[in-house]
Structure 1
Amino acid sequence: MISEALESMHFWEMVSRTTFAFITLMILARLMGKKQISQLTFFHYVTGITIGSIAADIAAQSETPFLNGAVGLIWWALLTVFVNYLTMKSKKARKLFDDSPTIVIHRGKISEQGMKKARLTLNDLNMMLREQSIFTVTDVNYAILETNGQLSVMKKASQEAATRKDVKAPGQEPKYIPTEIISDGNLIKENLTELNLTEEWVYEQLKKNGIGKVEQVYYAEITGDGSLHIDMRTEDKK
């Protein structure tokens, strides 16, 4: 009788543990946002695995103190939310936790430095290109390895589908790779340097568009033809 009672107690303890872990994960998943899935960087990948492991210990390991497991699960999730907040507000924190995109093909030429930084082999690069139905590097103008491990590709103008090549129109290569130069009201000076552009040029372009301060701009990027695309802050649009 005693053993049966103990078994029954263990059964309901595991049910309650599992239910708590399930509900807590649902709440924390909503709290942490969709970035955990849609933009799965290495940091978020490790975080997801760790939170899942803690929840599994709470549900299945009776040796794990219930309160300790719950505190660990919630605290880890809160740390993740805090890091996400930091990466939204600080470019340095974003680069620290999520790294930054790496150019592996620049103007049709494979960047050895970019390949080393991304720790990619030529076989890896060719495989990622084939996954996008590109079977030769000569069709590629730019290729960028994103922070989530995906490869973004800009084809050469002559290889774009049914635009210039099919109608025998001359294919002009873009002057620049589209690059952000203003993010959340802040000028990204290193990107200007890579594009051989000056801050004075940016201020002049903003002035032409009736914008007096960089802080008024939420996002701005150099397009392929060298023009400036500007997205004003919402309050300024209103």
Structure 2
Amino acid sequence: MYTGYLQVVVQTVITFFVLLTLTRFLGKKQLSHLTFFNYVTGITIGSIAANMVILKTIVFIKFLISLIVWCALTTLISYIALKSGKARTLLDGQPTIVIKKGKIDRKALANTKINLDDLTMMIRQYQVFSITEIDYAILEPNGMLSILRKPEFQSTQKTDLSIYPSAPSFIPIEIITDGKLLPRNLLEVGKSREWLDNELKKANVKTIQEVLYAEIQPDGNIFIQKIE
């Protein structure tokens, strides 16, 4: 009788320390559930760990091997996504602009399987109760909504001070990440490759591969951070 309880205690202790070790390898991205893939992986790891402790129909060592292999695959996929922009897009998806210059993009909503009721609910979570206050809304790969309010509704209510700042010419958007160009984003802001090359030349950057991150600023200038 006591042998069975002792076995559960031993398996629980082993599982605890194995999970503790594996989570150190998985990294903070997995723990924060930044994407749906991370979320599902986290649930699966928890399910395997629970079965290791509770179920007796399968040998404990088999569950242990399964847990280690699953975590190893997750780490491998994360490494591939880190090195490959295409793999990262395939796994995590891309941000989708659902409100652009104050107008709802119905096609973007349809592609992301979100209806207007869902959109307005998500917006209200940011204490925004009118779409007319929004300049841009971006649906992130993790399902969260990022909102850029119109200038007159940003921070303190500038309308109360009779201040009406001009609207930004561009939405801040990345155009180079990890030494790779994002042509779609460059097209989104209406800039050409020739313009980008000239801006890089001004910053003493010879090739895109030298750039860790580059972003278009609201005034049309470009922020560039080189790979060190």
TM-score range, shorter chain: over 0.9
Tell me the distance in 1 between the aligned counterparts of 2:90 and 2:38.
13
Mapped to 2, the partners of 1:29 and 1:165 lie a distance apart of 49
Can you give the 5+ residue segments of structure 2 that lack an aligned partner in the other structure?
none
* Residue 171 (structure 2) aligns with: 177
Distance 1:160 1:219, change over 3 A: same
1:53-107: per-residue Cα shift (whole Å, max 9, x none)? 1111111111121111000000000111111111111111111111111111011
1:196 and 2:190 correspond: yes
Q: Which residue of 2 aligns with 1:218?
A: 212
TM-score by length of 1: 0.91
CA contact (8 A) 1:57 1:64 kept: no
Aligned partner of 1:15: which letter? V
1:162 corresponds to which residue?
156
Residue 117 of structure 2 corresponds to residue 123 of structure 1: yes
Tell me how far 1:161 sits from its aligned partner: 2.3
Distance 1:44 1:227 in 2: 35
Deviation at 1:163, TM superposition (A): 6.7
Superposed displacement of residue 12, structure 1: 1.3
Quote the offset at 1:175 in angstroms.
Answer: 1.2
Partner of 2:46: 52
How many residues matched? 228
Structural mapping, 1:91-110, within 5 Å:
91-110=85-104
Structure 1 SS opposite 2:62:
helix
Query: Is 1:132 aligned to residue 126 of structure 2?
Result: yes
Please give the alpha-carbon distance, in whole angstroms, between the structure 2 residues aligned to 1:192 and 1:85. 26
Q: Which moved more, 1:206-215 or 1:133-142?
A: 206-215
Deviation of the 1:123 alpha carbon:
1.1
Q: Does 2:200 align with 1:206?
A: yes
Following superposition of structure 1 onto structure 2, how do residues 69-84 of structure 1 map, counting pairs within 5 Å?
69-84=63-78
How high is the TM-score relative to the length of structure 2?
A: 0.95
How high is the sequence identity, in percent, across the aligned residues? 41
Letter in 2 for 1:205: E
Question: Secondary structure at the residue paired with 1:16?
Answer: helix
The gaps in structure 1 that reach 5 residues or longer are 1-6
CA distance in 1, matches of 2:142, 2:157: 30
What is the letter of the counterpart of residue 49 of structure 2? A
- More divergent stretch after superposition (87-96 vs 210-219): 210-219
Other structure's SS at 2:159 match = coil
Distance, in Å, in 2 between the alignment partners of 1:148 and 1:121 is: 17
Instruction: Give the whole-Å Cα distance in 2 for the aligned partners of 1:213 and 1:184.
Output: 12
Partner of 2:136: 142
Q: Distance in 1 between matches of 2:25 and 2:41?
A: 14
Output the CA distance in 1 between the equivalents of 2:134 and 2:156.
16
* Amino acid across the alignment from 2:118: D
> Which residue identity does 1:32 align to in structure 2?
L
3-state DSSP class of the match of 1:211? Answer: coil
Q: For 2:9 and 2:51, locate their aligned partners in 1 and report how far apart those are by CA, in whole Å.
A: 13
CA contact 2:48–2:63 (8 Å) conserved in 1: yes
Letter in 1 for 2:102: G
Residues 1:33 and 2:27 are matched in the alignment: yes
